[in-house]
Amino acid sequence: MDYNTLREFADSWGLLAMVIFFLFAVFFAFRPGSKKLADEAKNIPFKDDANG
């Protein structure tokens, strides 16, 4: 494989793969059941806090 072959792959299928991954990540973050999980995750650093 030379540079031009890799470049053509990245410009076509690589870009498509990145767009699909981005759309999946956005859907995963904003799906209906994710608020509860996000609220639990944001409190993980304070789980063992003795003052709270």
List helix spans (H) across the chain. 3-9, 15-29, 34-42
- What is the residue type of 48? D
**Looking at the predicted structure, is the pLDDT value of residue 46 above 80?**
yes
1-29 pLDDT, tens digit per residue, is 899 998 988 888 989 999 999 999 999 88
> Is the Cα torsion angle 28, 30, 36, 38 positive or negative in sign?
positive
CB distance 40 to 46 below 8 Å: no
- State the pLDDT confidence band at 52, using cuts at 50, 70 and 90: low
- State the pLDDT confidence band at 50, using cuts at 50, 70 and 90: low
Whole-structure pTM value: 0.61
CA angle 14, 18, 1 (to 5 degrees): 20
CB distance 34 to 28 below 8 Å: yes
The pLDDT assigned to 27 comes to 93
